[in-house]
Chain A
């Protein structure tokens, strides 16, 4: 992997963090759904960058992603069931 890519990822996640903070201030609390969606999308894109580049999944055989993908299924299962538990 080229070193430029890694530094570019760092620049991206730093800027994205600042963008998150700005977004949370700019979007009014009354539009919390929009604010949370924007912030969540930014956070997920940052996490994806870390996984792809710092954890190097982008450069590894695809089977290495198996650990992550299968676990994501159970993560989604857990979050969905728990958050829906008491919604009526």
Chain B
């Protein structure tokens, strides 16, 4: 029985029951399925929340192990290898699998509610994003259970330490593969949330009325969209180095400086990714508990959009002062870093000004927000010292730096996000937390946090990555105090767990708006939120409370979890087990097939979004906005790949002329094939716009043939190069590494295009496209033109220059 026949049979049975009993039965999923297959933004938000705390637990245990090891001189609790793994995995887990996702959890849950959208723009991709994050984390931490142990090259995976030469174990490969899944998750998540905010705001929700937290989320996600592709390409290159023997990071031409560029182009914006969601929540909390509107909100937003956002990409080199980078660049990075304190200062001053003259209520969320601002100032001030080239040379790699970035990453981000938990969980659960225990949690956390990190400020001569030290250094007393602080800070978090559990089970039921807040997520019936009904929004000028018909939860879908699980098995198997890898391939293909089948038969449908505020993208459907955003991420990806190539070309004195290696005539012919496929894809779009379905299928078929021809010739080229004498391979030198890496990634894009074309042709043959309904063809045209455009740059770079 076909899917359509099955659906028709189900529909008939439902109609029959409805006629008999007068009520149409709902198809309820089991509790487990309702979570595993959910695509609903609130449930996905809760999944992010719970999972991020799971990773906090692991990262926290590792931190306590490290601190206990360092408590006294010459401790033998951990070996040097175990300590390296603990410090590396602690950093990676805390930054990438706890702090960032906790902000995403709140964004998922509250952004659609704050702007009056029924869900995020792409619910299925949202669930996919979550599962890629969760499974990516499992792949990463599985390194602890394989021979050689987990990753041990620091949270930055600095090259060449991360190469196979120094870390031959599987842990380093697994962290790279887990990171690859995470980068995919972050990119999908950013496209989703940005599209939601740009295109799905309720009528009346103009930019000036968009709540502060949503504004901060928008900037956070833009940072991710533009920064992640750099490290995505870096991680790919690292994996290729480790598996296929390329030479990106283990030769003088590529070198550690290339990795530094790739990492920190992402790594520094990531600092803002970690702190901005918390600061956005703190802005709302300070306003609410001061009883005043946020002071100079426009100044804050301008600082954010025109200060922090662009500058975070122009200051990252301050992490590379000691790598031997160009002297002028170092001075520019110093100046830019110091200039970038201005937007931070504006934000802090505006928060302070909000409180002046206000009726401040020192509830737990407010105390947490204030702690966040205080630690932001301390961490910011110590950071200004580190931005100075001269001081940085002295302080780099010492515990002073550890103190600085923990005041930012833990103090600012974590206290603010804890404040967000206390602030929003009553809305989440419909119940109030225990204020006394909440305040105790705050007091203990704040005291022990400072006992832990403040003494580090004075350890100006203690290297940050040593696993033990001699008594004569005099570092012992400081480290002992810090370890007491670490245990106190860690144990204090049990109170947070207690507060959340007690609130969920025994908390006093509160009304819809216990804090008496005007922000849209607090309007409407509290039960509707608890039971996961759509947002009811009020924007001040335009209240649609009650005007939006309740809709069922966004439908369940099995594909996101299946594809992610398949990919995780594939990647784990790639390192350790061929059978596991094969199972992963089968599971992944099944998941992708299910996804396409759902699209082909229209089985996954989300409610249409009513027209709302979309300025300045008034005429763009939200799917097209998503496609454009994805392409912008792709632009940075290829910019990073081409940037790496230029970097290497500049640093390798002798580069063989292309004509001595490549068959230029064949490559030129192949280029013309690809350029011609761009024309035929456009003709396919042109045909369906005129209602000619046959021509659509014909032109798509021609495009497929041209694309497949390009790929086939590319494979022939590779074969000729590998089998020539002497062989030109990915491992034969940097010219080979760069050539195969760049053409390989482009070929993967061609392959994805061919798969998409197969889907379009199938749908076209079935009559799925009409003159007025052919958006998918239009979006594919954009993608294919982009792939063509990339080759327009790769061809001369690799074959002519």
B is bound to A: yes
Task: Scan residues 47-98 of chain B and give those whose CB is less than 8 A from a CB of chain A.
Answer: none
A79 and B642 contact, CB distance less than 8 A = yes
A63 and B617 contact, CB distance less than 8 A = yes
Chain A residues with a Cβ under 8 A of chain B: 3, 6-7, 9-10, 13-14, 17-18, 20-21, 24, 29, 32, 35-36, 39-40, 42-43, 46-47, 50-51, 53-55, 60-61, 63-64, 66-68, 70-75, 77-79, 81-88
Shortest CB-to-CB span from A44 to chain B, Å, is 9
B705 at interface, CB cutoff 8 A: no
B501 at interface, CB cutoff 8 A: no
* A interface footprint on B320-357 (CB within 8 Å = 1, 0 otherwise): 10001111110000000000000000000000000000
**Bound Cα distance A79, B678 (Å):** 27
B686 and A3 contact, CB distance less than 8 A = yes
A20 and B326 contact, CB distance less than 8 A = no
A67 and B671 contact, CB distance less than 8 A = no
- Nearest-CB residue, chain B, relative to A32: B801
Shortest CB-to-CB span from A29 to chain B, Å, is 7
B631 at interface, CB cutoff 8 A: yes
A83 and B785 contact, CB distance less than 8 A = no
Residues of B within 8 A of A43 (CB): 792-793, 795-796
A77 and B788 contact, CB distance less than 8 A = no
Main secondary structure of the interface of B (DSSP, over half): helix
B538 at interface, CB cutoff 8 A: no
B704 at interface, CB cutoff 8 A: no
Residues of B within 8 A of A84 (CB): 326, 328-329
A55's contact among B644, B647, B683, B782, by CB below 8 Å, is which? B782
**Bound Cα distance A13, B671 (Å):** 10
- Nearest-CB residue, chain A, relative to B310: A73
Residues of B within 8 A of A39 (CB): 796, 800-801
A20's contact among B261, B640, B679, B800, by CB below 8 Å, is which? B800
B317 and A81 contact, CB distance less than 8 A = yes
Shortest CB-to-CB span from A19 to chain B, Å, is 11
A13's contact among B639, B786, B792, by CB below 8 Å, is which? B792
Shortest CB-to-CB span from B516 to chain A, Å, is 38
B261 and A55 contact, CB distance less than 8 A = no
B632 and A71 contact, CB distance less than 8 A = yes
Residues of B within 8 A of A29 (CB): 657
Residues of B within 8 A of A35 (CB): 801
Residues of B within 8 A of A10 (CB): 675-676, 678-679
Residues of B within 8 A of A51 (CB): 785, 789
Task: Scan residues 295-327 of chain B and give those whose CB is less than 8 A from a CB of chain A.
Answer: 310, 313-314, 317, 320, 324-327
A86 and B313 contact, CB distance less than 8 A = no
Shortest CB-to-CB span from A59 to chain B, Å, is 12
Residues of B within 8 A of A88 (CB): 326-327
B785 and A54 contact, CB distance less than 8 A = yes
- Nearest-CB residue, chain A, relative to B634: A71
Residues of B within 8 A of A60 (CB): 619
Residues of B within 8 A of A87 (CB): 326, 650
- Nearest-CB residue, chain A, relative to B647: A82
**With contact pairs A54-B788, A67-B628, A71-B635 given, residues A85 and B313 touching in the complex (Cβ less than 8 Å):** no
Residues of B within 8 A of A21 (CB): 664, 668, 800
Residues of A within 8 A of B327 (CB): 88
B226 and A71 contact, CB distance less than 8 A = yes
Show 5 residue pairs from A and B whose CB-CB distance is below 8 angstroms, ordered by the A residue: A13-B792, A35-B801, A55-B786, A63-B618, A78-B639
**Bound Cα distance A22, B671 (Å):** 15
Shortest CB-to-CB span from A60 to chain B, Å, is 8
Chain B residues with a Cβ under 8 A of chain A: 226, 230, 257-258, 261, 265, 310, 313-314, 317, 320, 324-329, 616-620, 628-629, 631-632, 635-636, 639-640, 642-644, 646-647, 650-651, 657, 664, 668, 671-672, 675-676, 678-679, 681-683, 686, 781-782, 785-786, 788-789, 792-793, 795-796, 800-801
B672 and A17 contact, CB distance less than 8 A = yes
**Bound Cα distance A19, B292 (Å):** 66
B678 and A85 contact, CB distance less than 8 A = no
What would 9 more interface pairs be, CB under 8 Å, given A75-B635, A78-B313, A88-B326?
A14-B672, A17-B795, A20-B800, A67-B632, A74-B639, A79-B639, A79-B643, A82-B261, A85-B257
**Bound Cα distance A40, B310 (Å):** 27
**Bound Cα distance A74, B782 (Å):** 21
Residues of B within 8 A of A85 (CB): 257, 261, 320, 325-326, 329, 647
Shortest CB-to-CB span from A84 to chain B, Å, is 5
Residues of A within 8 A of B226 (CB): 71, 74
**Bound Cα distance A70, B628 (Å):** 12
**With contact pairs A6-B679, A29-B657 given, residues A86 and B796 touching in the complex (Cβ less than 8 Å):** no
- Nearest-CB residue, chain A, relative to B788: A50
**With contact pairs A35-B801, A50-B792, A54-B788 given, residues A78 and B230 touching in the complex (Cβ less than 8 Å):** yes
Residues of A within 8 A of B325 (CB): 85-86
Shortest CB-to-CB span from B455 to chain A, Å, is 36
**Bound Cα distance A20, B258 (Å):** 29
A82 and B646 contact, CB distance less than 8 A = yes
Of the listed residues A17, A36, A54, A60, the one surrounded by the most CB atoms of chain B closer than 10 A to its CB is A54
**Bound Cα distance A64, B778 (Å):** 15
**Bound Cα distance A29, B656 (Å):** 12
**With contact pairs A6-B679, A13-B675, A85-B325 given, residues A78 and B650 touching in the complex (Cβ less than 8 Å):** no
Of the listed residues A43, A71, A82, the one surrounded by the most CB atoms of chain B closer than 10 A to its CB is A82
- Nearest-CB residue, chain A, relative to B264: A81
Residues of B within 8 A of A71 (CB): 226, 632, 635-636
B675's contact among A14, A53, A78, by CB below 8 Å, is which? A14
**Bound Cα distance A39, B647 (Å):** 19
A6's contact among B329, B620, B686, by CB below 8 Å, is which? B686
**With contact pairs A17-B668, A77-B313, A83-B647 given, residues A64 and B620 touching in the complex (Cβ less than 8 Å):** yes
Residues of A within 8 A of B789 (CB): 47, 50-51
Residues of B within 8 A of A50 (CB): 678, 785, 788-789, 792
- Nearest-CB residue, chain B, relative to A87: B326
- Nearest-CB residue, chain A, relative to B261: A82
10 closest A-B pairs by beta carbon, nearest first, are A24-B800, A54-B785, A71-B632, A10-B679, A75-B639, A63-B616, A82-B643, A67-B628, A39-B796, A55-B785
A67's contact among B324, B619, B629, B643, by CB below 8 Å, is which? B629
A78 and B265 contact, CB distance less than 8 A = yes
**Bound Cα distance A85, B264 (Å):** 13
Shortest CB-to-CB span from B219 to chain A, Å, is 13
Residues of A within 8 A of B657 (CB): 29
B631 and A18 contact, CB distance less than 8 A = no
A74 and B617 contact, CB distance less than 8 A = no
Residues of A within 8 A of B646 (CB): 79, 82-83
